[in-house]
Structure 1
Amino acid sequence: KKKPVINGVQTAIVTGDSADEIMIDQFGRVKVQFDWDREGKKDSKSSCWIRVSQNWAGKKWGAFFFPRVGQEVLVDFINGDPDQPIISGAVYNADLMPPYALPAEKTQSGIKTRSTKEGGADNFNELRFEDKKGSELLYIQAEKDKQLYVKNDQNDKTDNDHNVEIGNDRKVDIANNDSLKVAKNRIAEMGDNDTLKVGKTLNIEAGDEIIIKTGSAQIKMSSSGNITIEGTNIDIKGSNVKVDGSAITLSAGIIKLN
């Protein structure tokens, strides 16, 4: 008896057990229920395991996107053999609409996932491209954590402004040197304390002035060589104090020397 041949592509719905949102085996295969199947229960017994075509596939490397339960897929048959089905793609439909409103957002493309299990419309990772002329955008969202691992150098360049907003703590660990160059002004504002600890030498150099101020107390150093210390009370203490100069002027209502 001649084996039947299936010509063309068929559509089917990915199936699984009732508690599954993703049901695959160790080879990344899934099960489906074909549109013509009137006896299937849309469960793990609706079909045999079916391989899923990917854009790239190597030994432990490649691209991998696996259909989830409820998605509509295209099923082809290798050489028309009904015993060799293969999923060649997935399609949107009236119940499973694209992630972006069309045709209004027709200039957008990308990848948008859905958190599982029981993820909602606001739970997703996304890589989105906006190609509208004058409004081009590369958008990345991590629903929770993001990790970036660079095994050698990393170079970032921003031609205009660069804004960083951190909702909690920030920690930077540098194994060797750190260099920062600012062409104009730099402002650093701390809400509470600021601690600087240097293992060896601390050098502070300014072209015009260095001013250290807290309340009514102030130390001012100018490039002319003048140093001014101001305060309600100034205490200088040391086991030995040496004042050396070509001239010393003391001016006060009362001068006490002990």
Structure 2
Amino acid sequence: MAGHQFALTDHPNSDYNIKYHLLTVSHQGSQPQAVAEEAGSGTTTYSAGFEVMPARLPYRPKLLKKPLVDGPQIAHVTGPEGEEIYCDEHGRVKVWFPWDRHGKKNDTSSCWIRVSSNWAGASWGHIAIPRIGHEVIVDFLEGDPDQPIITGRTYHNNNRTPNKLPDFKTRMVLKSDSHKAEGYNELRFEDEGGQEEVWFHAQKFHNGVVENNETWKVGANRHKRVEGSQSESIGGSKDIEVDGSHRETISGVKDLHVKAVRRTQVDAADNESIADDKTLQVGGNYTAKVNRNIRMESLAHQHYTAPGTIFVDGGDQVVVRAGSAISLNVGGNFIRIDASGIKIEGTVVNVNCGAGAPATGKDVPFIEPSAPEDYQGPHAERYARSFEK
């Protein structure tokens, strides 16, 4: 019987008188007399054949030829119940094959399977983990069933395309699905002639870092709408050039704090309308120079106060006109001009005494304002070259 051992004896060659291990045994015999219908007349025969090997040698069965997988197969990504994305530290996933009728669609349905990527480097490249339920294409390296690899992914009746087809066949879309939430991120390219568009949607945050320069060029109009607050922090200078009009509407308070010098130049007219009060406080001198006329009109009172001298100098005439009265008061002395006449009252009144004016005003020198600096142009290097096709 195959698998048993026996010892050979009395062989003419003593080297063969050893123990043997039976590998195969075949039996063959005939007995024609036992077949009544044929009424055979031959004799009964029996023969046996066998293969052996020395029992002192370990038995090693023949290696079976490894089966090959002929071509890629369709599979579905699986994972634990209640999870949407399931992978290991290498981005590998587990799958279920439709032919595996008894297999469980969970985290035990297969071994970890590598996923092909269009770009894979050392901690850089592109990665998009196939999610549970996605249909993938599984191929096998050199047909080896022990070396599966996911080479592609497909849409089907349950997993439909991001956009309705063929209605939006001109769109190229990169769209994600929020993990265990409602929402998505999307980058979309519309290639319909005359309607070309690049569209971006961030479900929550949109953050970016530019280590050097950032340059944008808009060939026509630009509109920006911020529903909440907007803040801007600039470490260096800021230049803005507007070839047309510049309009701002602020519904609340506007605060402006200039910690150094502020220079403003208006080459044409400057109009300012204030519906309520205006307050101006100057820590140093206040100088104004007008090449033509100055007119100030107050519908109520005007009040000028200076702890020193108030100096009024008219190159031609100084005219002071009042509808009711004009009063000049110094200490207990005064001059009053009203409809009843001119009243002068003082400790001493000198008229035509020949002396000069008792006091002169101190002129405040005019300080020429410094002009603002011109627009410096874009700060980014390679500005012009950035927009070359």
TM-score, normalised relative to structure 1: 0.92
Deviations 1:174-223 (A, max 9, x none): 111111111121111110211111112222221222233223889xx998
Q: Distance in 2 between matches of 1:169 and 1:238?
A: 44
Count residues in correspondence.
253
Find the counterpart in structure 1 of residue 322 from structure 2: 252
| Native 8 Å contact 1:209 1:223 kept in 2 | no
Q: Would the alpha carbon gap of residues 48 and 223 (structure 1) be closer, same or farther in structure 2, given more than 3 Å must change?
A: farther
Q: Distance in 1 between matches of 2:313 and 2:306?
A: 16
Find the counterpart in structure 2 of residue 38 from structure 1: 101
Q: Would the alpha carbon gap of residues 257 and 166 (structure 1) be closer, same or farther in structure 2, given more than 3 Å must change?
A: farther
**Aligned AA for 2:149?**
I
Q: Distance in 1 between matches of 2:175 and 2:266?
A: 51
1:50 aligns with 2:113: yes
Deviations 1:107-166 (A, max 9, x none): 01120000001x33xx10000000000000000000000001100000100010010100
Segment of structure 1 superposing worse, 94-103 or 208-217: 208-217
Note the 1:7-156 alignment, pairs <5 A: 7-117=70-180, 119-120=181-182, 123-156=183-216
Q: Which residue of the other structure, out of 212, 220, 223, is the alignment partner of 1:160?
A: 220
* Greater than 6 Å deviation, 4+ residue runs: none
Q: Distance in 2 between matches of 1:199 and 1:94?
A: 65
Q: Distance in 2 between matches of 1:148 and 1:245?
A: 63
Q: Would the alpha carbon gap of residues 257 and 162 (structure 1) be closer, same or farther in structure 2, given more than 3 Å must change?
A: farther
| Native 8 Å contact 2:77 2:131 kept in 1 | yes
1:195 aligns with 2:228: no
Q: Distance in 1 between matches of 2:242 and 2:290?
A: 21
Q: Distance in 1 between matches of 2:137 and 2:147?
A: 14
Q: Distance in 1 between matches of 2:289 and 2:70?
A: 89
Q: Distance in 2 between matches of 1:178 and 1:124?
A: 35
Q: Would the alpha carbon gap of residues 18 and 223 (structure 1) be closer, same or farther in structure 2, given more than 3 Å must change?
A: farther
Report the 3-state secondary structure (helix = DSSP H, G, I; strand = E; otherwise coil) of the residue aligned with 2:327. Answer: coil
**Aligned AA for 1:235?**
H
Report the 3-state secondary structure (helix = DSSP H, G, I; strand = E; otherwise coil) of the residue aligned with 1:210. Answer: coil
Q: Distance in 2 between matches of 1:222 and 1:125?
A: 59
**Aligned AA for 2:248?**
A
| Native 8 Å contact 1:113 1:124 kept in 2 | yes
Identity, in percent, stands at 37
Q: Distance in 2 between matches of 1:170 and 1:189?
A: 15
Q: Would the alpha carbon gap of residues 34 and 99 (structure 1) be closer, same or farther in structure 2, given more than 3 Å must change?
A: same
What is the deviation of 1:249?
A: 2.9
Report the 3-state secondary structure (helix = DSSP H, G, I; strand = E; otherwise coil) of the residue aligned with 2:177. Answer: coil
Report the 3-state secondary structure (helix = DSSP H, G, I; strand = E; otherwise coil) of the residue aligned with 2:273. Answer: strand
Segment of structure 1 superposing worse, 225-234 or 169-178: 225-234
Q: Would the alpha carbon gap of residues 176 and 255 (structure 1) be closer, same or farther in structure 2, given more than 3 Å must change?
A: farther
Q: Which residue of the other structure, out of 294, 314, 318, is the alignment partner of 1:227?
A: 294
Find the counterpart in structure 1 of residue 312 from structure 2: 243
Find the counterpart in structure 2 of residue 178 from structure 1: 238
Structure 1, unmatched stretches of 5+, are: none
Segment of structure 1 superposing worse, 140-149 or 206-215: 206-215
Q: Distance in 2 between matches of 1:156 and 1:6?
A: 53
Larger-gyration structure (1/2): 2
Instruction: Quote the RMSD (CA, aligned, Å).
Output: 2.0
Q: Distance in 2 between matches of 1:186 and 1:57?
A: 49
Identify the structure with bigger relative contact order (alpha carbons < 8 Å, sequence gap 6+): 1
TM-score, normalised relative to structure 2: 0.62
| Native 8 Å contact 2:162 2:173 kept in 1 | no
Q: Would the alpha carbon gap of residues 251 and 28 (structure 1) be closer, same or farther in structure 2, given more than 3 Å must change?
A: same
Report the 3-state secondary structure (helix = DSSP H, G, I; strand = E; otherwise coil) of the residue aligned with 2:65. Answer: coil
Report the 3-state secondary structure (helix = DSSP H, G, I; strand = E; otherwise coil) of the residue aligned with 1:140. Answer: strand
What is the deviation of 1:56?
A: 0.5
Report the 3-state secondary structure (helix = DSSP H, G, I; strand = E; otherwise coil) of the residue aligned with 1:127. Answer: strand
| Native 8 Å contact 2:72 2:140 kept in 1 | yes
